């Protein structure tokens, strides 16, 4: 296990709705010196150990030397029963209601199960720091309830720090990204199917952002970031975030090299396995590609947040009108 002389561990945890660019943010942060991009680290137990998904380095998880060494340092030898136990703990503790209840009982005593899972996470993160040599671990697991568990783990430590980044993307752009993924070109939507999809897209987007706000309210270091700003000027956005979070000295030069394949990301968008530099640019494809019924349905169902985030009208970030990304 890491020695007491090791530098303090800092965790940058990204929360967002699905299809909001968390993998891109993870990869870009991981390109910075001292940062390690891990992708959606909460999936290491199921997608990694149980289902043997492909790591961002291109190897099956069971053949990735980096993660095999991390797990060995963290836990010694893990058998199937150990992994099954961890998965059960995770599923129980990641329930959104636990995050909601925490706002009512902020000083509540953690259950034995929560303490056990926190120790698992502490061993995992500290071993990842030790093997990688990076003191800043980027975890783009997105799920705010999991972020709350990680935050409690960090809060109970004297040497670790937790940074929450709430990544927001226009709900219509998110719906379009999902629509492209789910659309079956060999069939036609049944009457009313577009309205049903609109509700599902809006519900997922709204729920994710609401719980992200809850997590931001629980932590000392929280940043809100808009994907449209990130895609338009990543260097400026990163300089501001890193300086504000105390992860970069003011005036320091930020150099981004978005080459996903160099990272050991557990899970995330398939772009993480590309061996080509990422092309980062704004995209207005949703304006013409998203069916009208879904577009207006999502707009109506998410309208209060679209106004709050500046996607409608001239509120905070009103310049984002017309800068929506794919």
Total domain count, the chain:
1
Question: 257 Cβ partners below 8 Å, 6+ apart?
Answer: 31, 277
Q: Kindly report the pTM of this predicted structure.
A: 0.86
Does 5 reside within a domain? no
Parallel, antiparallel, or unpaired: how do β-strands 35-37 and 222-226 relate? unpaired
Does any domain span residue 80?
yes
Contacts 24+ apart (CB under 8 A), 244-250: 245/12, 245/163, 245/221, 246/221, 247/10, 247/12, 247/136, 247/163
Distance CA 41, CA 2 (A): 19
Domain for residue 261, yes or no?
yes
The pLDDT value recorded for residue 183 is 61
What pLDDT is recorded for position 322?
35
- Residue 233: the pLDDT is 86
Q: Residue 170 corresponds to which tokens in the numbers above? A: 């226009």
* Per-residue pLDDT, 142: 93
Q: What is the dihedral of CA 146, 150, 155, 157, to 10 degrees?
A: 160
pLDDT by residue for the chain (326 residues), tens digit each? 444 466 789 999 999 998 898 888 888 888 888 889 999 999 999 999 999 998 888 889 999 999 999 999 999 988 999 999 999 999 888 887 776 676 655 556 677 888 899 999 999 999 999 999 999 999 999 999 899 899 988 887 766 789 999 999 999 999 998 888 766 544 455 556 677 888 888 999 999 999 999 899 888 889 999 999 998 888 888 888 888 888 776 555 566 665 555 678 888 766 666 666 777 777 789 989 999 989 999 999 999 999 999 998 754 443 443 333 33
pLDDT of residue 29: 87
Q: Would residue 58 count as lying in a domain?
A: yes
200 and 301 in contact (C-beta within 8 Å)? no
Question: What is the pLDDT at residue 16?
Answer: 94
Which pLDDT belongs to residue 316?
40
Res 1: pLDDT: 44
Answer whether residue 318 is part of any domain: no
CA atoms 227, 233, 236, 238: torsion sign:
positive
CB atoms within 10 A of CB 106: 9
The reply to whether 191 falls in a domain is: no
Q: Does residue 116 sit within a domain? A: yes
- For residue 8, the 8-state DSSP code is P
pLDDT at 323: 36
Q: Which residues contact 178 (CB under 8 A, 6 or more apart)?
A: 18, 19, 201
Task: Evaluate whether residue 166 is within a structural domain.
Answer: yes
Domain of 22 in residue numbering reads as: 10-170+222-280
DSSP 228-286: HHHHH-HHHHHHHHHHHTTSS-TTPPP-----GGGS--SSS-GGGG-SSPPP-----TH
Q: Which positions ≥6 away from 176 have C-beta within 8 Å?
A: 285, 286, 289, 290, 326
> 104: how many CB neighbours lie within 10 A of its CB?
7
**Residue closest to 78 by CA, chosen among 53, 44, 125:** 44
């Amino acid at each position: 296990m890491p020695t007491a002389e090791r530098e303090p561990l800092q965790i940058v945890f990204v929360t967002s709705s699905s299809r909001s660019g968390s993998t891109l943010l993870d990869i870009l942060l991981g390109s910075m010196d001292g940062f390690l991009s891990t992708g959606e680290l909460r999936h290491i137990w199921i997608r990694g150990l149980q289902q043997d998904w492909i790591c961002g380095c291109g190897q099956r998880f069971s053949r990735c030397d980096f993660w095999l060494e991390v797990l060995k340092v963290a836990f010694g030898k893990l058998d199937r029963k150990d992994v099954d136990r961890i998965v059960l703990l995770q599923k129980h503790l990641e329930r959104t209601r636990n995050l909601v209840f925490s706002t009512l009982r902020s000083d509540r005593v953690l259950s034995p199960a929560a303490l056990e899972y926190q120790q698992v996470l502490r061993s995992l993160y500290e071993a990842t720091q030790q093997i990688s040599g990076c003191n800043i671990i980027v975890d783009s697991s997105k799920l705010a309830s999991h972020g709350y568990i990680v935050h409690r783990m960090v809060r109970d430590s004297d040497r670790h720090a937790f940074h929450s980044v709430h990544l927001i993307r226009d709900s219509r752009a998110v719906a379009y990204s999902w629509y492209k993924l789910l659309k079956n070109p060999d069939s036609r939507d049944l009457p009313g199917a577009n309205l049903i999809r609109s509700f599902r897209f809006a519900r997922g987007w709204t729920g994710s952002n609401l719980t992200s706000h809850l997590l931001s309210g629980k932590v000392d270091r929280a940043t809100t970031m808009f994907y449209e700003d990130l895609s338009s000027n990543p260097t400026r956005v990163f300089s501001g975030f890193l300086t504000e979070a105390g992860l970069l000295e003011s005036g320091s030069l930020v150099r981004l090299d978005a080459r996903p394949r160099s990272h050991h990301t557990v899970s995330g968008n398939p772009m993480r396995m590309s061996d080509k530099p990422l092309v980062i640019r704004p995209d207005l494809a949703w304006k013409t590609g998203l069916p009208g019924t879904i577009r207006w349905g999502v707009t109506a169902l998410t309208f209060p947040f679209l106004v709050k985030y500046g996607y409608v009208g001239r509120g905070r970030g009103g310049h984002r009108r017309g800068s929506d990304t794919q």
